[in-house]
Amino acid sequence: MSYIIKGLDGSVFEHLYGLSDCKLQEHGAIRINVDKPQAYPDRISLRDIPVGEYAILLNHTFLDSPTPYRGSHAIFIWEGKKEAAILTDCIPEVMISRTISLRAFDNNDMMIDAAIASNEKIEENILIFFENTQIKYILAHNAKQGCFSCRITLNNRQNNTFNEGEA
């Protein structure tokens, strides 16, 4: 069974790149100079933002659906990044180094299963979830802070695509 983990499309955030701190605040966002390793997970590259780089902290709608599970939360993006990471059958280090909440959804954007996992158990849970043919996608969140991490889809299922608002 093959799965895809995809980061957010950075071009969606391009209008924020290079703005002054004042202008960022008008968008409900702030710029942070990364001062410690493994503290600022980028949702575009699915890597930790290196020390010395800049992160933008903003609110992101990760499930824009008229269901009880509609949701948004604060995320970090690596300022200037545009190209989304696309990983096949590979858990990014940014997830392995954290405890992750995995939430499995059906075609109606209703959660039908969930698990907390870390390390090799993340992939194990993903594969178990996708054994259930009702599961359309999985949303991963950092369990400690609750922030959205990424969307996971089954590689060979139809309709792997999604709108950015659903990411």
Q: How far apart are CA 124 and CA 128, in angstroms?
A: 6
Handedness of CA 125, 130, 133, 138 (dihedral sign): positive
| Residue among 113, 111, 143 nearest 126 (CA) | 113
Find the helix or strand (DSSP H, E) in which 5 lies. Answer: strand 3-6
Q: Are 46 and 117 in contact (CB under 8 A)?
A: no
Q: Distance of alpha carbon 62 from its chain centroid, rounded? A: 8
- How many other CB atoms are there within 10 angstroms of residue 152's CB atom? 24
pTM value? 0.90
The per-residue pLDDT string of the chain (167 residues; one tens digit each, 9 = 90 and over) reads: 899 999 999 999 999 999 999 999 999 999 999 999 999 999 999 999 999 999 999 999 999 999 999 999 999 999 999 999 999 999 998 999 899 999 999 999 999 999 999 998 999 999 999 999 999 999 999 999 999 999 999 997 444 444 444 44
Q: Which residue has the tokens 């299922």?
A: 157
For 25-37, give the DSSP string: HHTT-EEEE--ST
